[in-house]
Structure 1
Amino acid sequence: MTQRRVIIADDEPLARERLGRMVDELDGYQVVAEAATGMQVLEAVASHAPDILLLDIRMPGGDGLEIAEQLGTQTAPPAIIFCTAYDEYAIRAFDVQAAAYLLKPVRRQALADALRRAERLNRAQLQALRTRQADNPQHLSVTSTRGTELVDMTRVRYCEADQKYVTLHHDKGETLTDLSLKALEQRFPDHLLRIHRNTLVGTRYVQALERQDDGACQLRLSDVPDALPVSRRHVARVRQRLREL
């Protein structure tokens, strides 16, 4: 029988121990890691790629609901079962696609039922994500320290190259990829515009091309506080693209 990989996240050692014993008593599941803080949860998920995450809500270093929302951006997120002493978060929990919401003290049969439900949901999630990525070529699958993320390239403000890596600056923060600027430019020609050998910008966020006193040009983007330099060799192409937009 295939062992489903489980991570237990709770800041109380006794709670983790109790959940671990119950999981061990069930066939088909294996606890591969434990976490006591929000940061540890993200690191454990990135390292162990679990099928299922048993997650507390009130934890130091990261609210469980926020963690679930962040994991939901990945292309292969674990199914999440919330295990908490608080009942007031149930509606929000299902907003982040939780497979189950169990109140402490968690009962063995309730946990067994939730694990089976989570397994079914996780397979459905993966299929839905694969379909979404196939149907939406503006999405880019990126493997990072946080796991595998699905980045919506229409939300990328600009891409900045630094040695071997490129940083994607988007509305949810930053994502690092080992894809080159050239590869991104070729893959997303409708969304990205080259303005410098080290920079691509999201065309929908372009506001203005400005000429400085020394003759150099810079580009203003919405939601980006600082203007970005435009190299001389790309000014004409940028002006042409602005007329087309």
Structure 2
Amino acid sequence: MKVLIVDDEQPARERLATLLRALPEYEVAGEAANGVEAVRVAAQTHPEIVLMDIRMPGMDGLEAARHMAQMETPPAILFVTAYETHAIEAFEAQAVDYLLKPVREERLRSALEKAQRPNRAQLEGLNQSTREETARSHICARVRGNLELIPVESVHYFQADQKYVTVRHDGGEVLIEEPLKALEEEFGDRFLRIHRNALVARDRFSGMERRDHGGFEVVLKGSEERLEVSRRHVAEVRRFLKSL
């Protein structure tokens, strides 16, 4: 079985790789030093198992695991942590198991034997627990069968259209299948609703103008795009712009 090793400390990665080499039924599929890199490597190498540190700078292991759950064949997650208290988070995230550092060979073997692809209940639990824990640093989208990570700080707006939501960002746009309401609840401190179908990043507002045929629209910084503001949200948008 292919195993991906994820830890921001190189000695920790080297130790796990050494332990895995003593287990002939497993092979190291790759290594990653942070959550963003882990998701990308996992999408490229398709490991059956991921050994992943929980606390890492930038994207932590819990968020990375949530993004990996979007893969067509999600890997089993074995969290690795130096702190017993983080094990609670691991189980809340529906990990198959967790390992305390320093990892011992027999404990690693036992955890690997338990590893299996997560079932639907595990994936739903992972999504729910990490959503409650903290807002994501990245949005994950499937583009031509591959996973693409978009930093939330680069997103201009979310706009819903039936079952899909368009994510307009610095590098273009992608489609995701997440409810706009859930995105608002998760990122409400960074985005403002201007319409039942649109959330705009607070740092992208340039102004609001009245349209020739009535109504209002938002002007975005550095863009010629205009987004409609619904009547019920005009006052809130106006208050926000006055506070800038």
The bucket for the TM-score relative to the shorter chain is 0.5 to 0.7
Quote the Cα distance in structure 2 between the aligned partners of 1:70 and 1:103.
23
Q: Kindly state the Cα deviation for residue 44 of structure 1 after the two structures are TM-superposed.
A: 1.0
Q: Which secondary structure does the structure 1 equivalent of 2:73 belong to?
A: coil
Matched, 1:13 2:37: no
1:95 maps to which residue? Answer: 92
**Paired letter, 1:167:** L
Quote the Cα distance in structure 2 between the aligned partners of 1:214 and 1:156.
30
Judge conservation of contact 2:39–2:64 (CA < 8 Å) in 1: yes
Please show how residues 64-143 of structure 1 align to structure 2 within 5 Å: 64-119=61-116, 122=117, 124=119, 143=145
Q: Kindly state the Cα deviation for residue 100 of structure 1 after the two structures are TM-superposed.
A: 0.7
Q: Kindly state the Cα deviation for residue 23 of structure 1 after the two structures are TM-superposed.
A: 1.0
- List gaps (5 residues or longer) in structure 2: 125-140, 150-160, 185-194, 199-209, 219-224, 229-244
Matched, 1:145 2:147: yes
Judge conservation of contact 2:78–2:96 (CA < 8 Å) in 1: yes
Q: Which has the larger radius of gyration?
A: 1
Q: Which secondary structure does the structure 1 equivalent of 2:115 belong to?
A: helix
CA RMSD of aligned residues (A): 4.1
1:167 maps to which residue? Answer: 175
Quote the Cα distance in structure 2 between the aligned partners of 1:68 and 1:128.
10
Quote the Cα distance in structure 2 between the aligned partners of 1:206 and 1:11.
39
Structure 1 residues 93 and 227, CA, compared in 2 at 3 Å: closer, same or farther?
A: farther
Matched, 1:38 2:40: no
Q: Kindly state the Cα deviation for residue 216 of structure 1 after the two structures are TM-superposed.
A: 7.2
Q: Kindly state the Cα deviation for residue 123 of structure 1 after the two structures are TM-superposed.
A: 6.2
Quote the Cα distance in structure 2 between the aligned partners of 1:106 and 1:14.
12
Judge conservation of contact 1:159–1:166 (CA < 8 Å) in 2: yes
Regions of 4+ moved over 6 Å: 126-129, 216-220
Structure 1 residues 128 and 10, CA, compared in 2 at 3 Å: closer, same or farther?
A: closer
Q: Which secondary structure does the structure 2 equivalent of 1:93 belong to?
A: helix
Structure 1 residues 22 and 88, CA, compared in 2 at 3 Å: closer, same or farther?
A: same
Quote the Cα distance in structure 1 between the aligned partners of 2:28 and 2:162.
38
Percent of residue pairs identical: 37
Q: How many residues align?
A: 172
2:235 maps to which residue? Answer: none
Q: Kindly state the Cα deviation for residue 146 of structure 1 after the two structures are TM-superposed.
A: 3.9
Quote the Cα distance in structure 1 between the aligned partners of 2:8 and 2:122.
32
**Paired letter, 1:55:** M
1:215 maps to which residue? Answer: 213
The TM-score, its normalising length taken from structure 2, stands at 0.56
- List gaps (5 residues or longer) in structure 1: 130-139, 148-152, 174-203, 221-225, 230-245
1:24 maps to which residue? Answer: 21
Structure 1 residues 64 and 123, CA, compared in 2 at 3 Å: closer, same or farther?
A: closer
Structure 1 residues 76 and 155, CA, compared in 2 at 3 Å: closer, same or farther?
A: same
Please show how residues 55-70 of structure 1 align to structure 2 within 5 Å: 55-70=52-67
Q: Kindly state the Cα deviation for residue 108 of structure 1 after the two structures are TM-superposed.
A: 0.8
